[in-house]
Structure 1
Amino acid sequence: MLLIAAAVTTAPDVAFADDGIGHVDCAQKPSTPGCDLTVEVPGAPGGASDDSDEGSGGAGGNGDSGCYWAPVPGDRPPPAGKGPQGGWYARTCISDGIGSQRMPQWLDQPPGVDVGALALTARSRLRLPAPGIRTNPAGTPFVLVRVPVWLWVDPVSWAARSVSASVPGVAVTATATPTSVRWSFSDGSRDVTCAGPGRPWTPGMNPRAASPCGHTYLRSSASAPGAVFMLRATVTWSVVWSGPQGGGALAPLTTTASVPVRVAQSQAIVGSPR
């Protein structure tokens, strides 16, 4: 079995989301230039492999999630005793973010395409941005106890993303759309889940008004690790696929980001009587 070598590099605020097969987190690494999955098949095609149990045509998926038959390019002649019909195909699979490909086999009939497996491959290639956390007050240098904090996700990171996967003659597109965000505060309070990205605070609004999606800290962060509370946003993305045979829903994805928030207790100043 030949393994496809997969190289992953990272970029700031970009992540391979949790895909249900494996998790590749490319966020929080600003020192590297990209977040790309590149695939390389080593070696030259050989003869028919010993893995004859993979079948000789017909079902493209053969019951394996994330697997499909791919034609081998080139004008390689058929094996001895085979007619002009058929061709060389290689069994290709994606699992845990790593591709694998078996030695090419001669198939008397072109295999059918497993569109469901192709949809899973497209889903595994989705690169989703880490949520851009925005607050008011901004948290620098601190926010005050009992002052409502407005929370929202930057619109730049709140937009649908699509990617396609294809074999000759068939292409499938997977589209991820952000739907909700769960906020965690690490101050002992319950998480808050909001539909949509949240509403930005704009100048002219009452700074003490409660946010439609926000939080009010009730204690100082002075005794917390590093004297800060970690504000965490987890965005859920719905995923659907579309292709020549229709489409449907796939398992959702999530992306996460965190920022430190320093919370201070306001001190009343009492003047001494004269």
Structure 2
Amino acid sequence: MRSLGSFLTRLGLLAAAGCIGVGALPRAATADVTPPVCSDDEDVCEIGVEIPGGGGDGGSDPGTDGGVEPPAGGGSDTGTDALENCTSTVINGVDSHPLAGARPSDTAVLVIENCTIESGSTIQSAEWMELGADGQVQISPEVLAQRAVDRLVLLQPGIEASPGEVQLVQLPTWLWVSEATWSVRTAQAAAGGLIATATATPVAVSWAMGDGATVECDGRGTEWKRGTDPEAASDCSHTYTRPSSEELPVSATVTWQVTWVVTDAGGGEVASGTEPDMSTTGQTAWPVLESQALVER
């Protein structure tokens, strides 16, 4: 733990310290998501049909399955083994495949996709699909959109606060999520001449403060700036009333609103919709101290 002097200096607190002693959503994206999604019972691994190049602003590469990325600043450190370099092959004239099972109809074709993961291993998926009169694989916009949603990679929130590492009783703790981890995420999936784009937008944060209190904030919160009234609260803050005998666990859970749109080769909209909210959580811990003589911040 840093000394109190460096703690006060870092936060711009000018304190005449007397005696300071230690007292003190439906389906969500979680940190343990790992691609691909496999079923031991059915011996099937579903990854997707085709992954076009190029991702959206602040989003994941379209060739990734859903998961949680570690924060760019603060929060816990959990990553995902993303899918890369995916290629699809359509095969006709076969009656069965170990991953896809028996051919369901005379008009079905086998679509095999091979992807590499960050470790260098190759992941293969296979499924039976129908071809249309134009020779394109037929897939409903809703199914394609779900694949794009499954490929979203969300950021865990980077927890920021002022004071930062040690809290003082009766002094509002300002809370916010780092700007680097508060960004719109996108992912894509394509098949049969259609492209689905899924978008996840962070909209709110729920803070569990470790003392039994919960703080609900719209947006990422407001960063504390020098010159601000030291006793003022922010639009996202919490005031501890008692010191703690040990560090208090603190978590921030971000809610992401998810939408999708499917377009044709010409860019025209074919379908659009929304998905249940997703969430990601970051964690930290800090002590709460009691100051008996605080002059100004």
TMscore range, shorter length: 0.5 to 0.7
**More RCO (CA 8 Å, sep 6+):** 2
Q: How does 1:217-256 map to 2 (within 5 A)?
A: 217-222=240-245, 227-244=246-263, 245-256=270-281
Partner residue, 1:204: 227
Q: Give the structure with higher Rg (CA).
A: 1
CA offsets per residue over residues 5-37 of structure 1, 9 Å max, x none? 99xxxxxxxxx9xxxxx985554447x8x7422
Other-structure match for 2:212: 188
Task: Give me the whole-angstrom Cα distance separating, in 2, the residues matched to 1:52 and 1:177.
Answer: 40
Identical amino acids, percent of aligned pairs: 32
1: distance between equivalents of 2:244 and 2:157?
24
Residue 206 of structure 1: CA displacement?
Answer: 0.9
Matched residue, 1:115 = 141
Q: How has the CA–CA distance of structure 1 residues 25 and 230 changed in structure 2, closer, same or farther, with 3 Å as cutoff?
A: same
> Please, what is the CA RMSD of the aligned residues?
3.6
Contact 1:143 1:262 in 2 (8 A): yes
* Offset at residue 91 of structure 1 (A): 8.1
Does structure 1 residue 51 correspond to structure 2 residue 74? no
Q: Is the 8 A contact 1:172 1:242 kept in 2?
A: yes
Over residues 74-117 of structure 1, what are the superposed CA-to-partner deviations in whole Å (9 max), with x where a residue is unaligned? xxxxxxxxxxxxxx33388xxxxx97424x67868555321111
**What is the CA–CA distance in structure 1 between the aligned matches of 2:84 and 2:234, rounded to whole Å?**
43
- 1:136 offset after TM fit, Å? 0.7
Residue 174 of structure 1 is matched in structure 2 by 198
- Amino acid paired to 1:124: D
Residue of structure 1 in register with 2:285 after alignment: 260
TM superposition score normalised by structure 2: 0.60
User: Is 1:150 equivalent to 2:198 in the alignment?
Assistant: no
What's the secondary structure of 2:220's corresponding residue? coil
Count of equivalent residues: 211
Q: Give 1:259 deviation, angstroms.
A: 1.0
Distance 1:153 1:55, change over 3 A: farther
Structure 1 residues without counterparts, runs of 5 or longer: 7-15, 17-21, 58-87, 93-97, 269-274
CA gap of 1:105–1:210, structure 2 versus 1, over 3 A, is closer
Q: Name the amino acid aligned to 2:172.
A: P
Does residue 1:164 correspond to 2:188, yes or no? yes
Structure 1 residue 40, shift from structure 2 partner: 7.1
Contact 1:4 1:40 in 2 (8 A): no
**Relative to structure 1, is the Cα distance of residues 163 and 208 closer, same or farther in structure 2, using a 3 angstrom cutoff?**
same
Query: Contact between 1:5 and 1:40, CA under 8 Å: does it hold in 2?
Result: no
Distance (whole Å) between structure 1 residues aligned to residue 103 and residue 285 of structure 2: 56
In structure 1, distance between residues paired with 2:189 and 2:208: 35
Structure 2: state its 5+ residue gaps. 1-42, 49-59, 71-75, 114-122, 264-269
State the partner residue of 1:135.
Answer: 161
Corresponding residue for 1:37?
83
* CA distance in 2: counterparts of 1:108 and 1:151, whole angstroms: 54
Aligned equivalents of 2:258 and 2:233: distance in 1?
A: 32
Question: What secondary structure is seen at the aligned counterpart in 1 of 2:148?
Answer: helix
Partner of residue 237 from structure 2, selected from 214, 232, 236? 214
**CA distance in 2: counterparts of 1:2 and 1:44, whole angstroms:** 17
Which residue identity lines up with residue 218 of structure 2 in the other structure? A
Distance change >3 Å, CA 170–CA 146, structure 1 → 2: same
Q: Given residue 219 of structure 1, which amino acid in structure 2 is its aligned partner?
A: R
Q: Which amino acid aligns with 2:235?
A: P
CA distance in 2, matches of 1:158, 1:181: 11
Distance 1:101 1:152, change over 3 A: same
Q: Measure how far apart 1:52 and its partner are.
A: 4.0
